[in-house]
Chains A and B, each alone.
Chain A
Amino acid sequence: MSTSRPSALLSATHIEKSFGGRRVLFDVSAAVGAGECLAVIGGSGSGKSTLTRIMLGLETRDSGEVTYAGRPVVPGRGGRIPGSSEGFRALRRESGLVFQNPFASLDPRWTVARSVAEPLVLTGRGPDREQTASAVCKALATAGLDPSEMLERRPAQLSGGQAQRVAIARAIVAEPRVILADEPMSAIDVTARVQILDALNAIRTARPDMGLIVVSHDLGVVQHLADRILVLHDGHVVESGPTDGVLGSPKAGYTRDLVAAASL
């Protein structure tokens, strides 16, 4: 089943992947367009994180093709930059990541200011200290945090919601064209989830041309964020389409089970 479209910003077609002889993805295709939010949903072990990591060039694939802005994404040997394609290098420069556990995704010894500024340093866009500080403050504010309170704090001095919003600020500071949020709310308490949702929605408003891929098993989150949904089950795409259509009138039995479980 394919969901790739000619106007896709980032697309993966016919992806297959095995780990130690066990196949986890079977001929999977997915795509996200500029300004679009794609949600990849499914149960644990369905292959959703593997698929999105392959799409961002963070994981190698056994077969299939990934393209970014029309250019093939081919990592160098062992997934490294040397020897990679121009599409891979562009994707690395122009993508941001938000992980599941915010505390594991921030260096415990670094201040918030340094962590958020890191993508600017890595992409060579932070040589000027004032410009960097300004970009860091802007990103923190977009993520719903007060920069004056946050800049000098370390991860141990943040709540779960604050830490995840700092991670979101780091993901957007270099103004990426595509962001992957891998289960961004599963390690956060219920009250902080609203803050994260607000932060992600604020980013979409601030950057209307940015593609967002959200991996989640929380259909409530998906409903609030996603334009389209891709449902994975045991490494197969069982259903895909606009959010309202997939959640409102699911066609596949597995999707119906997911929706029914969410409404319990």
Chain B
Amino acid sequence: MTMRNLSESCTRVFRAIWRRGSGRYALTVLGLWMAVAVVSLFWTPQPLLATDGYHVWAAPSAAHPLGTDGTGADVLSWLMAGSRTNLVIAALTVVCSGALGLLLVGLMVSRRAGLGSVTVAVVDALISIPTVLIALLLTVPFGASVGVIVGACSIAYGLNLARVARPAAMLAARSDYVGSAFAGGASGWYAFTRHVVPNIAPVLAVQLSISAGTSVLAEAGLTYLGVGVGAGVPSWGHSLATSVKFINVFPLTVLWPGLVVTLAVVALNLLGDALVRVGEEVAR
């Protein structure tokens, strides 16, 4: 596929998603998220390390549009900077869990005797380990970091992706059109990349969008448990973790990061749905 064809395909998909109300919402929220992440690299309303001891837990004002937290730091500035961390976590989780999931799917539908059934058994055994436990295990040697969150989410969601995508992948891999391609001299790699992966694309789109959304939730949960991002690293989970203890007294400081997380997760899930619908339209 040439760059021009790729560009035309992307534009066509973008327009098809935009035509749907849910797709418009998803693209708008994701666009804003990315724009804020880029802007926060150069500008935030207040410096992140600036604290105002006289105005802790302050209500929204002109100087602090979303108020301040318990240290007097500007909530909006931390949410803006946090959007970078969460964007990186969501993007890396999609890439890594997608790569791991596809690798496992490839092994599961392999024609090599025994390889497929062994991989299925291994995936079934590993899939029972919760994400939190994987994160705790990774924290022991590596310490709390973005890498640990991405690693834990990628392993857990990659296994899940492989398990969910396997039936559709098996149907494609054992189909007559793949048999015909093999008869014509196609390699396993060719059959997998040209026939199997495109035919499981709707399942991948849904699972990866769910993985991206769940990674945002996982970051918040793991950071709250102390195995997420390191102290002082801005993230939405960090903003939630530092204010959730005071939810009864200062509910607004929890509302903002909670709202941002919810909007982002809903947008990612709706994007997955929209991608499936667009894929079905293309197949018709």
Contacts and interface: CB of A to CB of B under 8 A. Distances in A.
Interface of A: 56, 58, 78-81, 89, 92-93, 95, 97, 99, 101, 104-109, 115, 118-119, 122-123, 154, 156, 170, 174
A170 B113 CA distance: 30
A212 B68 CA distance: 80
Interface string B150-188: 000000000000000000000000011101111111111
Contact of B180 (A80, A93, A97): A97
A122 B195 contact: no
B183 A104 contact: no
A97 B283 contact: no
Q: Secondary structure of the B side of the interface?
A: helix
B177 A107 contact: yes
Given A78-B113, A122-B185, A109 B283 contact: yes
A118 B199 contact: no
Given A78-B113, A119-B184, A123-B184, A109 B179 contact: no
Given A107-B177, A109-B199, A118-B181, 4 more contacts: A78-B111, A80-B111, A97-B183, A107-B198
B249 interface: no
A122 B181 contact: yes
B184 A154 contact: no
Contacts of B177: 104-107, 115
B176 A95 contact: no
B284 interface: yes
20 contacts: A58-B179, A58-B182, A78-B112, A78-B113, A92-B184, A92-B185, A99-B180, A101-B176, A104-B176, A105-B176, A105-B177, A105-B180, A107-B177, A107-B198, A108-B283, A119-B184, A122-B181, A122-B186, A154-B283, A174-B184
Nearest to B283: A109
B185 A156 contact: no
